[in-house]
Structure formats: C-alpha cells, structure tokens
Amino acid sequence: MSYAILAASLRSAMQRRDQEAIERLIAEMQPADLAEFVQHEHTDTVLSLLQHLPLDQRAVAFGYLSVALQEELAATLTDRKLGELLQHMNADERADLFKLLDEDRQQALLHTMPRAEQENLRKLSSYEEGTAGAIMTSDYVAIPAYYDVTRALATVRDTGTHAETVYQLYCIDTDGRLLGTVSLRELILADPDSQVAELMTEEVVFVTADTAQEEVARLVARYDLLALPVINGGERLVGIVTYDDAMDVAEEEATEDMHKGMSIGKIEGGLRSASLYELYRKRVVWLVLLVFANIFSGAGIAYFEETIEAYIALVFFLPLLVDSGGNAGSQAATLMVRGMATGDVRSRDWAKLLGREVTVAIGLGLTMALAVSVVGIFRAGTEIAMVVAMSMVAIVIIGSLIGMILPFLLQRFGVDPATASAPLVTSIADASGVLIYFAIATAVLGLPV
C-alpha cells in the first residue's frame, strides 16, 4: 500500500480513535514514512504513535525525525527510556542526538549504558561539526588481514548484525591500522583456507576524521562507494561514512548553496519548522544591504537627467536593458558557483572560462539586440533603436562577466563563492547597465555630458 493511502487511513483511524487500526497501519508503514507523517504532530501524539513500534524500529523512525522534533521528544522522555532508545539507534544518529542534550542530561544517560558504549558515544560526539568524524558511524565490520576466509566469515556473522553495511569489509593489522578492503562476495567465493591478505585490495580511498564533510560526499559520489573509511592520525580505522549519510550531506550543502544564491542564511531544522523571526532574520540583512547597493542605479539615472529629458523614450527601454544584464549575470554566476561546488571548475580555469564567457556573451547580446531593435524602431525610431541595440550588447557582456568573475574573486579572498548570489549580481549589473545605457545614448545622440 502506498504512503499516501496509509497516511490517509492512519489519519482517519486517529480521528475515530481506533487503536487496533492505528497499530495495524503503523506496523505496515516504513519507519521513514511514519517519521514524515508525525513530523508536524504534537509531541504527545508523536510519542503515542511511536510507542506502537518495537524498540528497534522506534529507534530507526526516531533517527528520521527533524533535529528540532528529536530535541522536543528527548526532553519529555525519562533518562531510562531515552537511554534505551539511544542504545538501539545507529551509532552516528545516536551521537547527533546526544550532542543536542545539555551536559547534565548527557552524564545521566551515559550512566544507563554499558562502558563500551559510553566510550564509543563520547568519541563519536567529540568530533567537530562539519567533519567526517561528525557523520561517521562505528558500526562496521573490520577483519584482521591475517585471518583465513573461514575465520573471517565467522567474524562477519558475529559482528555484522548491527553493522550499517557488510558488503564491504575493512582489513586491519593487529594495531587496528587500515590495510585494505575486501568484499563479502570475494570472501564467500574464495577458498576457505585462503588468507584475507591475499584477497584484499590495498588501494583504498579514505579520509581522516577532520576532513570536511563536503569532501567526503564528493569522494563517495566520485568513486561510487557504498561507504568511505575514516582513519585517525595514526592510520587506525575509526569509522565509516555510508552512502546515505554522504548523500544527506550533499543535499544539505546543495540547499545551503541555493539559499546563499538567493542571499538567504542557513535555516536550521527546515523551512516548515522555522519561526517567523528566523525567516525574517535570515533574509533581512542582505535585502537591506542591496537596497543601498541599488542607490547607485538611482545615482546613475540622476547623473543623466539631461539625456532623459531630451529623449524621454529612452526610459521605456531602461527596465528591459538592465533586467537583461542582471539575468545574464545571474546565469553566469549560477554556472560558475555550481561548477566550483562540484569540482568541475577550479581557480586556475578562470582565464580559459573568461574567453569562453566573452564569446558566449557576445552571441547572446547580439541575438537579444536584434530582437529589441525591432521594438526600438517601431517605438522610437532608428536612432533610439541603434542606441538600445548597442546598449544591449554591452550590458549583456558586462553582466555576464560580472556573474562569471565575482565567484572567483570571492573565492580568492576566502569567501564562499555561493555568496555571488543572484540578488548581488543583479544589483551590480543593474547599476552598471544604467551607466552603460545612458553613456552610449549621450554619445550616440550627441548630447552634452
């Protein structure tokens, strides 16, 4: 049964207070779907629905909830119940939830856990946010390289129950240093008396615990990995980052870049759960700054008042021209920022890309100039049409170059290129477009400056 049908049926059962139907429908739902269903319910309702799941499934569903809702639910649970939930969660999700709690609550929860799990939780929660250590899990299968295949498979059976993946196994030495990897398929098909060291691949893609999470996501995508091993300074294997966690990072980074691209700050917890004040605060700063940036456009218009008075028809084409420059610049900036984010574009490529952008911008400008010149002839005559056409070519070229160069400049000064947002590029291109348009008009029409 599809999620839409299950959700509608569950909603109906809740309205009827039919506990038997509620329990049956929740049992049919995937944990991720149940988490989506309860995301905007009252805390008491969420707890009541989650109680219908076995503890292990409840822990899985809990991991899919938003950070804000997890924090609310954790505050209502007793230390014993929260401790039980933590012990059944994946290691990385457990560490994320643990870090949301205050220090007193953390200490109380640690006392409810076995010593080995306490140490593991402390270690995972100690890594800095935004690093591989903060998103890795310790639920993996490691096999000493000197084991034979029979013993290695026995290790997989013993330790693989709670591992996030058993398809890729990690080979270590007696000190826990990463030596290589071997797939489960290779082990199953190998001679039982063969040594793991004979089967393993020694060329391993790995990261250190302090590697930026964006780099982790890039490597997982580039090499099509199910999981990426994480080592510490002594080359000891300390965890793995699974594909699904890496893709969560990629989605988060893409969302953050998109927000920056529209001059919006990072919204914690998602749009639907954000408060009105947070939405206001994340948007107001850049909008106010861009108001003052747009003053330059007004100053340009004021400077060419005499030109405008002599040829009032010029005003008709002003929005069309400056918007074209801003649009061309936004397109160029979007291409550059995305290229930088994916690694397709590097700083050293700027000269080559500059030449290509100029060529493309000339073609775009000429095409748009041809289209607008027809309007110019019918609206204001040949002379004005020529001014508009020349201005269109120049404005599109300049706007495109602003959009292309600005991300490189920001990166050069250590600022995130995504800050070269559409509003910022548009504001700069608008001011430039006004000056270019009226300067060309003044020169072509023979007016005094």
CATH number for position 116: 1.25.60.10
Residue 265: the pLDDT is: 60
Last residue within a domain, chosen from 251, 278, 307: 251
Q: Are residues 165 and 205 both part of a single domain?
A: yes
Q: Are residues 120 and 167 both part of a single domain?
A: no
For the chain, what percent of residues have pLDDT higher than 90?
23
- The residue range of the domain holding 79 is 3-129
Q: Are residues 45 and 68 both part of a single domain?
A: yes
Q: Is residue 303 part of a domain?
A: yes
Q: Are residues 157 and 124 both part of a single domain?
A: no
Residue 358's SS3 state is: helix
- If you average pLDDT over residues 19-45, what whole number do you get? 85
Q: Is residue 261 part of a domain?
A: no
Q: How many domains does the chain have?
A: 3
Q: Are residues 405 and 308 both part of a single domain?
A: yes
Checking if the pLDDT of 288 tops 60, the result is yes
Using alpha carbons, list the distances in angstroms from residue 282 to 82, 88, 268, 288, 427.
33, 36, 10, 12, 19
Contact 196, 144 (CB under 8 A): yes
Output helix, strand, coil percentages for the chain, rounded to the nearest 5: 70, 10, 25
How many CB atoms are closer than 10 A to CB 355? Answer: 9
- If you average pLDDT over residues 254-282, what whole number do you get? 67
Last residue within a domain, chosen from 129, 162, 196: 129
Residue 270: the pLDDT is: 61
Q: Are residues 184 and 98 both part of a single domain?
A: no
Distance, in Å, from the CA atom of 61 to the CA atom of 115, rounded to the nearest integer, reads 26
Model confidence pLDDT, tens digit, residues 367-414: 999 988 888 888 878 888 899 999 999 999 999 999 888 888 888 877
* Closest by Cα among 140, 250, 253 to 206: 140
Q: Is residue 206 part of a domain?
A: yes
* Mean of pLDDT over the chain: 85
Q: Are residues 154 and 49 both part of a single domain?
A: no
Q: Is residue 259 part of a domain?
A: no
Residue 264: the pLDDT is: 64
Q: Are residues 430 and 312 both part of a single domain?
A: yes
CB contact set of 36 (below 8 Å; sequence gap of 6+): 3, 64
Strand order in 227-231's β-sheet?
A: 207-208, 227-231, 237-242
Q: Are residues 119 and 218 both part of a single domain?
A: no
Q: Is residue 258 part of a domain?
A: no
Cα atoms in the 13 Å half-sphere on the side-chain side of 60: 12
Model confidence pLDDT, tens digit, residues 333-351: 888 887 887 777 887 888 8
* Closest by Cα among 178, 194, 177, 175 to 186: 194
Q: Are residues 220 and 300 both part of a single domain?
A: no
Checking if the pLDDT of 304 tops 90, the result is no
Q: What is the domain-level CATH number for residue 337?
A: 1.10.357.20
Last residue within a domain, chosen from 251, 286, 317: 251
Least confident of 152-156, 307-311, 366-370: 307-311
Band of residue 117 on the pLDDT scale cut at 50, 70, 90: confident
Q: Are residues 20 and 159 both part of a single domain?
A: no
Q: What is the domain-level CATH number for residue 165?
A: 3.10.580.10
Q: Is residue 282 part of a domain?
A: no
Q: From the CA atom positions of the chain, what is the Rg in Å?
A: 30
Residue 436: the pLDDT is: 92
Residue 200: the pLDDT is: 93
Q: Is residue 368 part of a domain?
A: yes
Q: Is residue 263 part of a domain?
A: no
Q: Are residues 47 and 116 both part of a single domain?
A: yes
* Closest by Cα among 440, 402, 441 to 324: 402
